Amino acid sequence: MSNTFHEEEVLGKAYDSRLMRRLLQYLRPYWRMTLFALIAILLYGMLQAVPGYLLKVEVDRYLDPTGGQHLPPVLARFLSRNPMTGIAQIAFVLFLPTVFLSFFLEFSQSFAMQMVGQKVMYDLRKQIFLHLQRLQMSFFDRNPVGRLVTRVTTDVDVLNDLFASGVVAIFGDFFTLLSIMVVMLELNWKLALLTFSVLPVIVIITAAFRRAVRESYRRIRVAIARINAYLQEHITGMSVLQLFNREERSFDEFEEINRAHMEAYKDSILAYGLFYPAVEVLGAVAVGIILYMGGGMALRGVLSVGTAIAFIQYSQRFFRPIQDLSDKYNLLQAAMASSERIFKLLDTPVTIEDPAEPKPLEHPRGQVEFQQVGFAYKDNHRVLENVCFTIEPGETVAVVGHTGAGKTTLTNLLLRFYDVQDGRVAFDSLDIREVRLRDLRKNFGIVLQDPFLFSGTIASNIRLGSEWITDAQVRAAARQVNLLEFIESLPAGFDEPVKERGATLSVGQKQLLSFARALAHNPRILILDEATSSVDPETEHLLREGLRRLIENRTSLVIAHRLSTIQNASKIVVMHKGHVREVGTHQELLQKRGIYFKLYQLQYKDQEFPVARAVLGAESLPERS
Amino acid sequence: MLERLRPLRPYLARYKGRYVAGFVCLLVSQTVGVLVPLLIKTGIDDLARSVALRRLLMVVGLLAAVSIVKAVFQFWMRWILIGISRDAEYDLRNDLFRHLMRLSPRYYTEHRTGDLMSKLTNDLNAVRNMIGPGIMYSANTVVVGVATISLMIHLDWRMTLMALAPLPFVSAAVKFFGARIHERFEKIQALYSELTERVRENISGMRVVRAFCQEDAEMATFDVMNRDFVEKNKGLIWITSFLWPVIALMFALALLLVLVVGGRHVLQGLITVGTFAAFNVYLTYLIWPIIALGWVTNLVQRGLASLGRLMTIFEAQPDIDDRAVPRNPVTELRGDIEFRNLRFSYNGHAILKNINLRIPAGKTVAVVGATGSGKSTLVGLIPRLYDAPPGTLLIDGVPIREIPLRTLREHIGFVPQETFLFSETIHENVKLGTPDATEAQVERAAEISNILPEIRGFPKEFDTMVGERGLTLSGGQKQRTAISRAVIRDPRILILDDALSSVDTYTEETILRQLAGVMAGRTTILISHRVSTIQNADEIVVLHEGEIAERGTHAELLALNGYYAELYNKQLIEEELEKEA
């Protein structure tokens, strides 16, 4: 199986200041909320040292007053001499407010930051989507749909994680750690430093753990992607798989991918399995240091019992932030990779856009000229060379030729999906690069070879987003292409949902729907890439009829596969290997006995039976006996 | 609940020994673990009484020993218990896939790929969470809870009651909010899929979007969804932001009670300062088990619901299988096909009626008819993509259900109407059904289907990847690859279901000519709309609304002057017209 999933899996460094600066730009509109969250988490972090300290105060002042009693004067004055009252003061006057404050701070910072994350995500998605609407078609040729979808969805989500639980939480962890360490140093700097001696060890262990987990998570992600791709494909192609007795081999392949997934996870279990106990052992080591070293200090009278108890509590607390920080590292790394991909997309220049000073195109006549046009999709492979022809207003021009002759490319250039490399395409004698894309394209109605339907309703597929098309016009368009009867037979009529891009409709119905779409937009010029797929004669008849009405009284450019279109064309352009080889009417070209004649013999001869019906009508077939 | 877990029994029974070992590790690690605060208590009391350092050293030594024992067993506990869940997940996924491969196309028309995928990913994961972390943390909560609380009670039962008072609220909060978080999360996920689908459509239909100047409209639709997504998330964020601070608040209140009540008890001489300190540590020991209590209930709830959905896959019985195959089944087929008064209904609609048709081995039969006349269904019955009623379809005189599926399909080369290629190399796709085919055979098959020159033209030739991650083949190229895939099997029966629709007439003629050579003596069934494809068949069958309307040779059918003759005549007339031109 393919192993090209890795492309998306390359993780770079965890921190790239250039990317980070650019990412932080997105926080700018929400700086107030961000600042608020930042202050909240800072205060929250500082409050985390309070419970331990109050514990010490209670023990040293009331429970075991033998040790040192050096309390800050403010506290000493405030606290009652009566132990019962004092304890109540500590609990309810000092401790309880911090508890609620802490609650409020944690909640509001989390809410604020997650909301900021959502808003940033909204902005980013909007920006990416907008950029996609502007990028030239050649970009979409190079990038598979799935990959681009990922940019708008998954990659943005990863960034959300960073904003919502990453950036600010890092400060929170840091301040918690810092405030605990400061209080410990303040209480007894010697014992504090001794206790801190476990910190380097935990940092090293955490780093090692992080590396191991990162590697196995990378493998897990690859494995999950492969499992999903494999399942998706094999469920879709299940009948082929069964027809060719592939079950056992497919199972073996699947089992292998499944195993890789399981093994990658086992590695991560191993990493976690080693990490958690190691952290606990270190916690015990810290307690051991406090008890033993503290015991020595207590003997010398330089350590109170309360301080020892507070130290033990603190020592249990400062591992959490370090572990969290290491989780954030993974988050940061994923976010860097995602943002790099997103920015790469956003930085892809738009090469086909409106000119700086567009020429007006107010009352277009609808004349199209290809003047010595040369074009290549890829560097050297010329698809069109020196192509010249004109479509006069009112004309129907049919383009014929073998597959790969460059027929579809003509429409791509006319709509400026791509720009010509040589020569020019002119619309009403204006180079199409000199007018606004919108002004140009709104003159055309296009019917693609493969009719593309959107999820929505029948009506929304005819109208698309063009609000100016009235219901009556939608109806009229459907009637004109002979689709009205079918639509009205549907339970919900025009509001019948179209699911999964028209999976419930036949090929012919989809074609007719796309005819109706083009018609409803009432274009000056119709561009039609006829479908090659063979349909049954009834549908063929409907399609042909629809087609006839579509091009009636309208300038059209038709990439023709149907004889009827060709015969009725004002002009036929014969393309061969990127060149225009013959131009003329059907009869002229047949008499010429050139390429058209040959093409006709090979390609169009067999499609004639449905056409015949149109020419003669089914009833008037000569009786044979 | 146990009843609903029953389907998992075979998966869990397999790991019975390991479960026992895992639970033993859990028991050892946690019972040893609760000794740590006791040692801290001793240490603090010693420290408060300023005893000799030797004694403290002993306490510290014990502390080290205890925590190392705990750590070792804790490691094994996780490794074994979570490991089992990954193994069971692996087993389940294998079994699911194996089962899916046994289900007939009918199942796949009734179930959407997306739904199946979601079962195989999300639901499987939820089940895994239930049998791994779910089981481990339940056991953990019980053991830690019982051990810790009984020790706390032993130390000071009144204080224990006070300290524990706020904690049930934590479990309740986790369970309550957890369920709501999940609920809202599901809704957001659904919205997210819609958003994703919207983007996918926009990009796939980019040409239409551009051609009809729909960029702004698309932007507007997307914006509505994007905004809605943020709005829905707000509801979730509210709860998630609330949950953790609430838990922290409850524990802080428990700590506050210990400060007050514990302090009084120390002053009253009921407990020592060390016990007071140990209580603080025990309280932190309880944090995770108490949270887990609420969390695990949700895990199990979700897991059970998901298990139910997964089971619907297993419950779907393969409707096409080898149950009617006798002890000594046929192993070779000649390719003589007989439809005997066949009637085939699908969801109550009769698709085929009164089909009596015999195709002797070695003959070529063409099927024509309008869309929906039942052509594809008719040929789909032969490799048993659909099952004909018993006794109505025989191969070599044997009822088709008595031929092992494998044998049957081995002898058939089937080219479906819609070409499906796997995203592998062309080479792999051609030898899909014949893994042992040689290079020469692959090339020969490509030659017969007239695609060899084009493959030779690709930079990587036969090693060219097909599909989104590789080269996009044209419709005709795909069809011809599918034909190669069928002919390389050297089948007794070749079925082309409108398989030449995307190739031009010239190529079609070449392919048919070459096929005629290889298929000499083999049975061939052709479906086509083109007269040129079918006119040389030994027999032509015209289907009309599921029934055979006409049958005979080209000449006979022309003489019959019906549907077929009409098709043909139209062609003739057109040619005459052409001559006049």
**Same domain, yes or no, for A468 and A536?**
yes
Q: What is the pLDDT, as a whole number, of residue A408?
A: 81
**Chain A contact set for B469 (CB, 8 A):** 2, 4, 144
Q: What is the pLDDT, as a whole number, of residue A535?
A: 59
pLDDT tens digits for B253-298? 888 888 888 888 888 888 888 888 888 888 888 888 888 877 788 7
Give the mean pLDDT of chain A: 81
How far apart (Å, rounded) are the C-alpha atoms in residues B179 and B184?
9
Judge: B432–A259 Cβ closer than 8 Å, yes or no: no
Q: What is the pLDDT, as a whole number, of residue A604?
A: 56
Integer-rounded Cα radius of gyration of chain A: 37
Q: What is the pLDDT, as a whole number, of residue B165?
A: 84
DSSP class per residue in B145-214: HHHHHHHHHHHHHHHHHHHHTTHHHHHHHHHHHHHHHHHHHHHHHHHHHHHHHHHHHHHHTHHHHHHTT-
Mutation target to probe the B interface, by most B beta carbons within 10 A, among A60, A95, A235 is A235
> How far is C-alpha B208 from the geometric centre of its chain's CA atoms?
32
Is the pLDDT at A503 greater than 70? The verdict is no
Q: How far is the CA of B525 from the CAs of A287, B234, B336, B358, B389, in angstroms?
A: 83, 60, 12, 12, 21
Considering CB atoms only, which of A122, A539, A590 is closest to B581? A590
Dihedral class, residue A483 (left if φ above 0, else alpha if ψ from -120 to 50, else beta): alpha
Give the domain CATH number at A37.
Answer: 1.20.1560.10
**Chain B contact set for A133 (CB, 8 A):** 202, 209, 215, 218-219
More confident residue, B486 or A68: B486
**Considering the domain boundaries, does residue A326 fall inside one?**
no
Judge: A534–B498 Cβ closer than 8 Å, yes or no: yes
Mean pLDDT value across residues B542-552: 84
**Same domain, yes or no, for A431 and A533?**
yes
Judge: A258–B90 Cβ closer than 8 Å, yes or no: yes
**Collapsed DSSP state (helix, strand, coil) of residue A558:** strand
| Predicted confidence band of residue A403 (pLDDT cuts 50, 70, 90) | low
The alpha-carbon gap from A308 to the nearest alpha carbon of chain B, in Å, equals 8
Mutation target to probe the B interface, by most B beta carbons within 10 A, among A107, A244, A255 is A244
Considering CB atoms only, which of A107, A240, A258 is closest to B93? A258
**Considering the domain boundaries, does residue A381 fall inside one?**
no
**Considering the domain boundaries, does residue A5 fall inside one?**
no
Element (H, E) at B393: strand B393-395
Is the pLDDT at A536 greater than 70? The verdict is no
Judge: A277–B72 Cβ closer than 8 Å, yes or no: yes
- Domains of chain B in start order, with CATH, are 2-315 (1.20.1560.10), 337-580 (3.40.50.300)
How far apart (Å, rounded) are the C-alpha atoms in residues A307 and A296?
13
How far apart (Å, rounded) are the C-alpha atoms in residues B485 and B421?
10
| Predicted confidence band of residue A460 (pLDDT cuts 50, 70, 90) | confident
Mean pLDDT value across residues A305-316: 87
How far apart (Å, rounded) are the C-alpha atoms in residues A607 and A561?
9
Cα dihedral B428, B434, B437, B440 sign: negative
Judge: A126–B120 Cβ closer than 8 Å, yes or no: no
**Chain B contact set for A237 (CB, 8 A):** 420, 422
Strands (E), A488-547: 497-498, 525-529
Is B314 within 8 Å of B307 (Cβ atoms)? no
**Considering the domain boundaries, does residue A315 fall inside one?**
no
The one-letter code for the residue type at B578 is E
Cα dihedral A147, A152, A158, A159 sign: positive
**Same domain, yes or no, for A434 and A293?**
no
pLDDT tens digits for A30-65? 999 989 998 998 899 889 888 888 888 888 888 887
> Of A286, A321, A350, at which residue does a domain stop?
A350
The alpha-carbon gap from B279 to the nearest alpha carbon of chain A, in Å, equals 11
Dmax (CA) for chain A in angstroms is: 127
**Considering the domain boundaries, does residue A368 fall inside one?**
no
Strands (E), A501-554: 525-529
**Same domain, yes or no, for A210 and A67?**
no
Asked which of B21-30, B76-85, B441-450, B508-517 is least confident by mean pLDDT, the reply is: B508-517
**Same domain, yes or no, for A136 and A232?**
no
* Percentage of chain B lying above the pLDDT 90 cut: 6
Is the pLDDT at B21 greater than 90? The verdict is yes
| Predicted confidence band of residue A602 (pLDDT cuts 50, 70, 90) | low
Q: What is the pLDDT, as a whole number, of residue A97?
A: 94
Judge: A145–B263 Cβ closer than 8 Å, yes or no: no
| Predicted confidence band of residue A618 (pLDDT cuts 50, 70, 90) | very low
The alpha-carbon gap from B25 to the nearest alpha carbon of chain A, in Å, equals 13
| Predicted confidence band of residue A610 (pLDDT cuts 50, 70, 90) | very low
Q: What is the pLDDT, as a whole number, of residue B27?
A: 92
Give the mean pLDDT of chain B: 83
Mean pLDDT value across residues A566-595: 82
Among chain A residues, the shortest Cα distance to B86 is held by A262
Among chain B residues, the shortest Cα distance to A273 is held by B75
3-state helix, strand, coil in chain B (%, to 5): 65, 10, 25
Considering CB atoms only, which of A140, A291, A610 is closest to B47? A291
**Considering the domain boundaries, does residue A364 fall inside one?**
no
- DSSP tag of A601: I
Give the domain CATH number at A521.
Answer: 3.40.50.300
**Same domain, yes or no, for A480 and A587?**
yes
- DSSP tag of B389: P
Q: B532 is written with which tokens?
A: 């040129």
Among chain A residues, the shortest Cα distance to B486 is held by A244
Q: What is the pLDDT, as a whole number, of residue B68?
A: 92
**Chain B contact set for A224 (CB, 8 A):** 121
Is the pLDDT at A4 greater than 50? The verdict is no
* Percentage of chain A lying above the pLDDT 70 cut: 88
Mutation target to probe the A interface, by most A beta carbons within 10 A, among B574, B575, B576 is B574
How far apart (Å, rounded) are the C-alpha atoms in residues A209 and A333?
15
Number of residues that make up chain A = 625
Is the pLDDT at A3 greater than 60? The verdict is no
**Considering the domain boundaries, does residue A394 fall inside one?**
no
> How far is C-alpha B487 from the geometric centre of its chain's CA atoms?
31
Q: How far is the CA of B380 from the CAs of A24, B167, B534, B571, in angstroms?
A: 59, 64, 19, 30
**Same domain, yes or no, for A180 and A236?**
no
Among chain A residues, the shortest Cα distance to B218 is held by A465
Is the pLDDT at A115 greater than 80? The verdict is yes
Q: A272 is written with which tokens?
A: 């976690």
Strand B493-497 to B523-527 pairing: parallel
Dmax (CA) for chain B in angstroms is: 124
Is B431 within 8 Å of B488 (Cβ atoms)? yes
| Predicted confidence band of residue B357 (pLDDT cuts 50, 70, 90) | confident
Is the pLDDT at B487 greater than 80? The verdict is yes
Mean pLDDT value across residues A366-385: 84
**Chain B contact set for A152 (CB, 8 A):** 196, 199
Judge: A537–B529 Cβ closer than 8 Å, yes or no: yes
Is B177 within 8 Å of B242 (Cβ atoms)? yes
Considering CB atoms only, which of B93, B531, B581 is closest to A587? B581
Considering CB atoms only, which of B44, B211, B575 is closest to A309? B44
Element (H, E) at A534: none
Mean pLDDT value across residues A560-573: 76
Considering CB atoms only, which of A231, A284, A438 is closest to B63? A284
Judge: B230–A296 Cβ closer than 8 Å, yes or no: no
Judge: A280–B67 Cβ closer than 8 Å, yes or no: yes
Mean pLDDT value across residues B548-572: 78
Q: How far is the CA of A442 from the CAs of A274, A357, A439, A524, A553, in angstroms?
A: 65, 19, 6, 8, 18
Judge: B74–A586 Cβ closer than 8 Å, yes or no: no
Judge: A126–B47 Cβ closer than 8 Å, yes or no: no
Considering CB atoms only, which of A54, A292, A517 is closest to B60? A292
How far apart (Å, rounded) are the C-alpha atoms in residues B16 and B75?
19
Alpha-carbon torsion, ordered A270, A273, A275, A280, to 10 deg: -160
Nearest CA to A79 out of A65, A99, A67, A98 is that of A65
* Percentage of chain B lying above the pLDDT 70 cut: 95
**Collapsed DSSP state (helix, strand, coil) of residue B344:** strand
**Chain A contact set for B371 (CB, 8 A):** 506, 508, 535-536, 538-539
Q: What is the pLDDT, as a whole number, of residue B2?
A: 66
Nearest CA to B385 out of B373, B377, B393, B395 is that of B377
Mean pLDDT value across residues B396-414: 86
The alpha-carbon gap from A428 to the nearest alpha carbon of chain B, in Å, equals 19
The alpha-carbon gap from A250 to the nearest alpha carbon of chain B, in Å, equals 9
Q: What is the pLDDT, as a whole number, of residue B28?
A: 93
**Chain A contact set for B383 (CB, 8 A):** 243
pLDDT tens digits for A317-344? 777 777 777 777 777 877 888 888 899 9
Q: What is the pLDDT, as a whole number, of residue B1?
A: 61
pLDDT tens digits for B410-449? 888 888 877 778 878 888 888 887 778 788 888 888 888 8
Q: B113 is written with which tokens?
A: 């790929």
pLDDT tens digits for B39-64? 888 888 888 877 777 888 888 899 99
Helix H, strand E, coil C: the string for A403-451 is CCCCHHHHHHHHCCCCCCCEEEEEECCEEHHHCCHHHHHCCEEEECCCC
**Considering the domain boundaries, does residue A30 fall inside one?**
yes
**Chain B contact set for A448 (CB, 8 A):** 207-208
**Same domain, yes or no, for A460 and A529?**
yes
**Same domain, yes or no, for A206 and A172?**
no
- DSSP tag of B134: I
The total number of structural domains in chain A stands at 3
Q: What is the pLDDT, as a whole number, of residue A367?
A: 86
Among chain B residues, the shortest Cα distance to A614 is held by B570
How far apart (Å, rounded) are the C-alpha atoms in residues B188 and B230?
9
Integer-rounded Cα radius of gyration of chain B: 36
Among chain A residues, the shortest Cα distance to B100 is held by A235
Is A432 within 8 Å of A355 (Cβ atoms)? no
pLDDT tens digits for B220-242? 888 999 999 889 888 888 888 88
**Same domain, yes or no, for A105 and A139?**
yes
Asked which of A366-375, A607-616, B503-512, B546-555 is least confident by mean pLDDT, the reply is: A607-616
How far apart (Å, rounded) are the C-alpha atoms in residues A85 and A79?
8
How far apart (Å, rounded) are the C-alpha atoms in residues B22 and B79?
8
Judge: B206–A111 Cβ closer than 8 Å, yes or no: no
Beta-carbon neighbour count of residue B327 at 10 Å? 4
| Predicted confidence band of residue A101 (pLDDT cuts 50, 70, 90) | very high
Mean pLDDT value across residues A182-207: 89
Q: What is the pLDDT, as a whole number, of residue B9?
A: 85
Q: What is the pLDDT, as a whole number, of residue B572?
A: 62
HSE at residue B27, side-chain half, CA atoms within 13 A, is 6
**Same domain, yes or no, for A548 and A531?**
yes
**Chain B contact set for A251 (CB, 8 A):** 94, 97-98, 101
Mean pLDDT value across residues B527-532: 75
Judge: A291–B208 Cβ closer than 8 Å, yes or no: no
Judge: A63–B498 Cβ closer than 8 Å, yes or no: no
Judge: B47–A295 Cβ closer than 8 Å, yes or no: yes
Is the pLDDT at A434 greater than 70? The verdict is yes
Judge: A609–B531 Cβ closer than 8 Å, yes or no: yes
**Same domain, yes or no, for A132 and A200?**
no
Mean pLDDT value across residues A244-259: 87
Domain that holds residue A411: 400-616
ipTM > 0.85 (yes/no): no
Mutation target to probe the B interface, by most B beta carbons within 10 A, among A114, A119, A239 is A239
More confident residue, B502 or B388: B388
Highest mean pLDDT pick, A94-98, A154-158, A241-245:
A94-98
Q: Mention every residue, 6+ apart, whose C-beta is less than 8 A from residue A60.
A: A67, A68, A69, A71, A304, A305, A306, A307
Considering CB atoms only, which of B101, B253, B561 is closest to A99? B253
Considering CB atoms only, which of B82, B205, B273 is closest to A452? B205
